[in-house]
Structure 1
């Protein structure tokens, strides 16, 4: 069952009664949750999306792999301080107060349901390989909605079921992808790679732009931290699962993307709707290989949606327990899943999918991905800032210099990478992401106002730091 934070927002009022801790994820399941949420639609859809930038995007993958590993280390350290469900909401809240916690929770929640819609849209290209949809947007919308609502229904079975599905789906997709990523390297044709920088912009600009788009494929590195309340021995397991899951995903990503770039000619890859299927067809000849990888892709994305829907419900659950999100989000069903949060993200994802197939699916997937870059990086920035804050406070105490230096480097680089990725998302994505972010402010004002009208202001409101925050 999900477990509320052991730290409390400054003016959140009386803490809810503690609930029994019924853990659902061991190290294997937590690692599968991280790897399964990272390896979703990204590896299957993004090689074609970044092909217009050229092979500079391969360098961007290397940079992002390092950045994702740093974030994994960051979340592991923060989980030692606050080993509770909510993760990226809890860290800024404890350091900077309820408004920072709310902004992080709102931004992450927005990223989740936008990302879920993008994943469901990514299913369509691979289903089209299995069952030709002939460009019928209505039929494509039905496929995307089915991909969204099947894992939504599965989530109501409970967190143990989600963990089991993640292990099975991760194995099903990881093994075939690793085979393709290794065997495919023997069939690579150097002439297929195309130019290093095909964007027409400067190399640093193309690197930042492709990295911002590729960040979508690494979203999920924080999965174990967000679900820490479901993890056995979270102080140790969250960090280990985050690092192991990230390393496994990065290995598959780098090898797989190199194989796709070298197997599919650049001019074809730019317009490909199922780049991995095209790559397998180039290895095996005919179409049976593409059909097989398309089955793997559909299973992979459905498994990824299964985990992301759980995360999308858990973040607002933790905030709602503190009175910083609408109260219905705090409701938990018999299976330990916040049921209202699951319904909310599914409905909002449905709306976005509907807009996608009425406004033009050829460009909307890219727009959705870039919006998730901004809304996903805001909680990363705030979490890195929270770690820097706690480290600054800790410098007055007796600490090990080597450990302090390591944590400072990890937190500072994580902050810098997040800032760089936001800049690389482009003006349009930042503009739209800010609109999504600021749309939550009236919600916070209403909730805060109603609470303060009935309850006294907490003792820590003077400096905005919870009296329960850990030094």
Structure 2
């Protein structure tokens, strides 16, 4: 039986840093321009819409994480309260999106921002940063979490400089007409930006490593979510307002930065903002992935060797190595940045639905577990928010699939492969042990 751990290595500041690192990361710096090309002058509204949908799902996710602290929660909760098959497909779909889209997107964007400072090969630089954080995470979650805090402080400072210095450069004419691409463009932009805002949900995957998770998880989200929302909207308004939609569409944030930042501040923005944001995302992914591998290996769905830990550092060295190799393979592929970002979005949207269904069923089946969670949100409100999140995520998925049917078809095809793997693994390959229950009496 999995029980709450009170002596984990991750405290409140660490949790906030991990959440902000997952949210304010490579996707913000690489996809803001892509979303601007779709949503036009309403891109900051698209940010707000995306964040609104995320918050609908974030509250039930936080309630689950506080009531049942565990590792790999985004897999374990659906497995326990919905269906093992659905839980596996969600984890598999996220893996396809993260290893095929997220990590290579972050690494390539990192290289692109470095190239704005010095003449380098973006792919080679991306390979270096993937390797560096792979090695860092081999040293354990405590080391990785401390690095995350340092990167987080510099990141917030750099975005603050971008917003404060850039505000006087905003021209109201660049923000008119207010919604240049209409409602469809706003929703499509929100779908592209969804994963940019989604990252905080993944803190439940390290719930077993968080000290006093019942209290710490809700507190950390109450700090990180408003902070990130303010940074996002302000950044989008300054970026579009300073240079206009045409100049920013499908470009990086270095374009507006060059318009109003001095060379010194521009370097600080690129290094402390773009580069540190991207590295916090890469670092956070490496922190979280072993939690999924551990849960999947415990259920006999992946080879046990992938969850095997190093005796010195307690890290899943073989699992991390596999993730590293898959992301490197995707990095050197010819997929454009926009497709990488879209691929990332499908997995994030799909993952949330089973978690929301798990929240609804957990509230009904284990109401006692939620009594000890300090929250202003009642069980009924949790259910309403979860159902609303399912509807909104379904809408975003359809809109994103309409915008990028080829990428969607490829993602769905790989998920079907995962379904076949699951059936073969469970039907023809007997598991060595039964899945460990999340909570006693919940099955």
- What TM-score, normalized by structure 1, do the two folds share? 0.84
CA displacement 1:114-161 (0-9 Å, x = unmatched): 31111111112211111134xxxxx22211211211111111111001
Change (3 A) 1:453 1:38: closer
Of residues 35, 49, 59 in structure 2, which corresponds to 1:63? 49
Q: Which residue of 1 aligns with 2:122?
A: 140
Shift, 1:244, TM fit? 2.0
Distance 2:266 2:430 in 1: 59
Distance 1:300 1:453 in 2: 40
CA displacement 1:202-233 (0-9 Å, x = unmatched): x3321221111111311311232011111111
Change (3 A) 1:47 1:183: same
- The answer to whether the 8 Å contact 1:73/1:243 transfers is no
Q: Which residue of 1 aligns with 2:207?
A: 228
Shift, 1:42, TM fit? 2.6
Q: Which residue of 1 aligns with 2:258?
A: 281
Q: Which residue of 1 aligns with 2:157?
A: 175
Distance 1:243 1:414 in 2: 19
Q: Which residue of 2 aligns with 1:136?
A: none
Shift, 1:187, TM fit? 2.1
Distance 1:398 1:43 in 2: 34
Structural mapping, 1:196-235, within 5 Å: 196-199=178-181, 203-235=182-214
Change (3 A) 1:398 1:172: closer
Q: Which residue of 1 aligns with 2:77?
A: 91
1:127 is aligned to 2:104:
no
Q: Which residue of 2 aligns with 1:387?
A: 359
Q: Which residue of 1 aligns with 2:10?
A: 25
Distance 1:132 1:91 in 2: 47
Structural mapping, 1:233-244, within 5 Å: 233-244=212-223
Of residues 233, 239, 243 in structure 2, which corresponds to 1:260? 239
Q: Which residue of 2 aligns with 1:11?
A: none
Shift, 1:438, TM fit? 1.6
1:107 is aligned to 2:89:
no
CA displacement 1:356-403 (0-9 Å, x = unmatched): 3xx5xxxx2111111111111122000001112233446899999982
Change (3 A) 1:153 1:405: same
Q: Which residue of 2 aligns with 1:36?
A: 21
Shift, 1:466, TM fit? 8.5
Higher percent of residues as helix: 2
Shift, 1:470, TM fit? 2.9
Q: CA RMSD in A?
A: 2.9
Distance 2:323 2:291 in 1: 11
Shift, 1:252, TM fit? 0.8
1:295 is aligned to 2:307:
no
Q: Which residue of 2 aligns with 1:369?
A: 341
Secondary structure in structure 2 of the residue aligned to 1:132? coil
Shift, 1:469, TM fit? 5.4
CA displacement 1:177-206 (0-9 Å, x = unmatched): 02322332222111223544454xxx3321
Shift, 1:429, TM fit? 3.5
Shift, 1:412, TM fit? 1.5
1:151 is aligned to 2:130:
no
Distance 1:130 1:398 in 2: 51
Q: Which residue of 1 aligns with 2:327?
A: 349
Distance 1:316 1:235 in 2: 24
Q: Which residue of 2 aligns with 1:339?
A: 317
Q: Which residue of 2 aligns with 1:420?
A: 395
CA displacement 1:297-325 (0-9 Å, x = unmatched): 11221222111112122212211122122
Of residues 159, 167, 174 in structure 2, which corresponds to 1:185? 167
Change (3 A) 1:402 1:307: closer
Distance 1:22 1:328 in 2: 26
Shift, 1:282, TM fit? 2.1
Q: Which moved more, 1:123-132 or 1:178-187?
A: 178-187
Change (3 A) 1:328 1:442: farther
Q: Which residue of 2 aligns with 1:15?
A: none
